[in-house]
Amino acid sequence: MARIEIIMPQMGESITEGTIVRWLKKVGDHVNKDEVLLEISTDKVDSEIPSPAAGTLVEIVTPENGTVPVRTVIAWLETAGAVAGAPLPAAEPLSPSAGPAPAPVPQGRRETPPPAAAGRFYSPLVLSIARTEGIPLTELEPIPGTGEGGRLTKKDLLAHVASRKSAPAAPSVAAAVSAAPGPVALQSVDVPALRAKYPAPAYEILQMSNVMQKMAQHMVQSVQTSPHVAAVHEADMTAVVKHRDENAAEFEKKEGFRLTFTPYIAEAVISAIKKYPLVNSSVEGDKIIRKNFINLGLAVASESGLIVPVIRNAEEKNFTGLARAVNDLALRTRAKKLVPEDIQGGTFTITNYGVFGTLLGMPIINQPQVAILGTGAIRKRPVVIDDAIAIRSIAYLTLAFDHRIIDGALGGMFLEEIVQNLQRRDREWKI
Q: Which of the residues are catalytic?
A: 403, 407
Q: How many Å apart are CA 301 and CA 410, to the nearest integer? A: 30
DSSP state of 113: P
Helices 238-255, 408-423: crossing angle, 10 deg rounding: 60
284 touches 291 (CB < 8 A): no
- How many Å is the Cα radius of gyration of the chain? 24
From 78, 23, 80, select the one nearest 56 (Cα to Cα): 78
From 180, 240, 254, select the one nearest 211 (Cα to Cα): 180
In angstroms, the Cα distances linking 53 to 7, 11, 35, 50 are 13, 19, 9, 9
Q: How many Å apart are CA 268 and CA 355, to the nearest integer? A: 18
Q: How many Å apart are CA 252 and CA 259, to the nearest integer? A: 7
Q: How many Å apart are CA 335 and CA 168, to the nearest integer? A: 23
207 touches 191 (CB < 8 A): no
DSSP 277-300: GGGSEEEETTEEEE-SS--EEE-E
Q: How many Å apart are CA 243 and CA 419, to the nearest integer? A: 16
Q: How many Å apart are CA 94 and CA 87, to the nearest integer? A: 14
DSSP state of 119: S
Q: How many Å apart are CA 121 and CA 116, to the nearest integer? A: 7
User: Which positions ≥6 away from 175 have C-beta within 8 Å?
Assistant: 258, 260, 355
8 touches 68 (CB < 8 A): yes
In angstroms, the Cα distances linking 166 to 133, 148, 254, 337 are 14, 28, 8, 27
What does the angle CA 217 – CA 220 – CA 226 come to, to the nearest 5 degrees?
A: 130
Write the burial class of residue 113 (CB in 10 Å: 0-12 exposed, 13-18 middle, 19+ buried): middle
φ, ψ for residue 360, nearest 5 deg: -145, 135
